[in-house]
Amino acid sequence: MRLLKLIPDNTNIGFVRIRHIAFAVTLLLTIAAVALVGIRGLNMGVDFVGGVSIEEKFTNAPQVDEVRSTVNGLGFGEATLQQLGGKNTVTIRLPVPNSSDPAAVDQMVERVKSALAAKFPGASFSNYSTVSGKVSDELIRNGVLAVLLAIIGIAIFSWLRYEWQFGVSTAVAILHDVLMTLGFFALTWMVFDLNIVAAVLTIIGYSINDKMVIDDRIRENMRKYRKMGMAELIDLSVNETLPRTVMTSLTILLALGSLLIFGGHVLRSFTAAMMLGVIVGTYSSIYVSSSLLITLGLKPGPREEKPSPAANAERVGPREG
């Protein structure tokens, strides 16, 4: 079992010592991510920009990559495919340049039907539906609202459970993780749809779980080592939880790596977002969230509680007449 240990016992890595460098790198990456999103934008999927969903039935389960290449070759944009039921039915989602024009939509659907019928003999068209701009705008608002409420809720929970410094540092670290993910999609130009929103929420859940483990150990050591310096105490806490953090992240990355290789095109964007989120979330837990507690002025020792009036009266004692 000793050979399987990636992190040896009694590690003593000085994470806090380089916190200023980590803060500078984090700030530069965050600014770069925001700039990429602002300048380049995101490659929004049909869920967010509107489009058409076509349902096609095949005599036998087709190769999804062949269907995708056939549809993408028509020049309407990148298609998103999903197999339904016994995998003989495939849903094809395409963006439409002018989804409000019924004639343009009908023409596009006819071209897709003809191309699939020629490539796959026996394929038959079932139906199609369009996603309007109004619905897509509502999905964008709901997606952004879900992410913001998740961050705010986690910050409030950390504030109430620990100290206010924990709530602020956790919110900053999670916001950093979300911005890094958005910057990655702006850089790679992968399709950003509702599946990626689900991935972002999953990343937030993983990140907060990792941070809570470290925060619990920091609070425990604050009560145990009241005379220890805060920098030394945080290094001790992070090193104590480091084996758990590394093993958890590595296990998740192995599973996601399998999905990335064997999951196909449909899961590629989701898996890439999850892998990036695990790496960035682990980094922010160690270098951003924990080290930021020193900058925010957190001190060792439990929070002092004000004595109640009854306790004051008991300590002073009754007055002599």
Residue 48 has a pLDDT of 72
Residues 197 and 99 in one domain: no
Asked whether residue 306 is assigned to any structural domain, the reply reads: no
Q: Is the pLDDT of residue 307 over 60?
A: no
Asked whether residue 308 is assigned to any structural domain, the reply reads: no
Q: What is the pTM of this model?
A: 0.69
What's the rounded Cα separation, in Å, for the pair 45 and 78? 9
Would residue 314 be called left, alpha or beta, if left means φ above 0 and alpha means ψ between -120 and 50 degrees? Answer: alpha
What are the pLDDT digits (tens) for 21-36?
Answer: 888 988 999 999 999 9
Nearest CA to 150 among 193, 214, 203, 186?
A: 203
Domain that holds residue 181: 8-41+136-295
Residue 88 has a pLDDT of 78
Residues 124 and 149 in one domain: no
Q: What percent of the chain stands above pLDDT 90?
A: 2
Residues 222 and 290 in one domain: yes
Q: What percent of the chain stands above pLDDT 70?
A: 82
Asked whether residue 29 is assigned to any structural domain, the reply reads: yes
Residues 19 and 71 in one domain: no
Out of 109, 131, 153, a domain closes at: 131
Residues 13 and 157 in one domain: yes
Specify the number of domains making up the chain: 2
Out of 131, 148, 180, a domain closes at: 131
Helices (H) and strands (E) in the chain, counts: 11, 6
Asked whether residue 122 is assigned to any structural domain, the reply reads: yes
Rounded average pLDDT over 90-118? 76
What's the rounded Cα separation, in Å, for the pair 23 and 36? 20
What's the rounded Cα separation, in Å, for the pair 155 and 207? 12
Rounded average pLDDT over 278-303? 78
Phi/psi of residue 225, nearest 5 degrees: -120, 80
Nearest CA to 131 among 190, 194, 57, 198?
A: 194
Residues 120 and 147 in one domain: no
Residues 182 and 37 in one domain: yes
Q: 138: which 2 tokens?
A: 């509502």
Residues 288 and 217 in one domain: yes
